[in-house]
Amino acid sequence: MALRNIRIQGDPLLEKKCKEVKEMTDRTSGLIDDMFETMYNAEGVGLAAPQVGVLKRICVIDVTEEKNSPLCLINPVIEEYSEETQTGWEGCLSVPGKSGTVTRAEKVKVRYQDRNMQFAEIEGEGLLARALQHEIDHLDGQLYVRLAEGGLVDNSELEEE
């Protein structure tokens, strides 16, 4: 495993639509291992393949404090959004040091393929639902900044509040 460089906002790769993964290869499996290592190392709760420069529909998520619930989603599709919404602070490893307030669905149901390319489904709410929506947006070249109400603030300002 190895750490990968995280692309920063302004990098054109972050605005591209990613391609479906058709089969699991050693190369893709290695990419997923590296994505987990890179996410945990950066203390993020999610990371999408384009953030490490690979235009494939893959993201990794772990929203637990203990960092013991790694979730890898390949070709994820949001099938259901709750009408109920949540509004809260959001950040992104590709937009370091900043946060913004984003309103998203409180719950989502996502269909995806796991590392064995088996179809699976996950229902998330709260932070997990937020992470799923944020990471899947990355696969379509979308950063949360376009959704941030009132723009971005420096994290140092947040901590002072």
Site of interaction with Ni ion (CB under 5 A): 92
Distance CA 85, CA 25 (A): 38
Choose between 24 and 78: whose C-beta lies nearer to Ni ion. Answer: 78
The kind and range of the H/E element at 86 are strand 85-90
3-state secondary structure of 30: helix
Nearest-approach distance from CB 127 to Ni ion, in angstroms: 14
Nearest-approach distance from CB 68 to Ni ion, in angstroms: 21
Residue among 135, 157, 159, 161 flagged as catalytic: 135
Residue number of the CB atom closest to Ni ion: 92
Choose between 39 and 92: whose C-beta lies nearer to Ni ion. Answer: 92
Distance CA 108, CA 125 (A): 7
Nearest-approach distance from CB 137 to Ni ion, in angstroms: 8
Contacts for 20 with CB less than 8 Å, ≥ 6 apart = 56, 57, 75
Retrieve residue 51's tokens.
């953030």
Choose between 92 and 148: whose C-beta lies nearer to Ni ion. Answer: 92
Check if 83 is active-site: no
| CB-count exposure of residue 118 (10 Å: 0-12, 13-18, 19+) | exposed
Nearest-approach distance from CB 133 to Ni ion, in angstroms: 11
Choose between 42 and 77: whose C-beta lies nearer to Ni ion. Answer: 42
Q: Which residues form the catalytic set?
A: 135
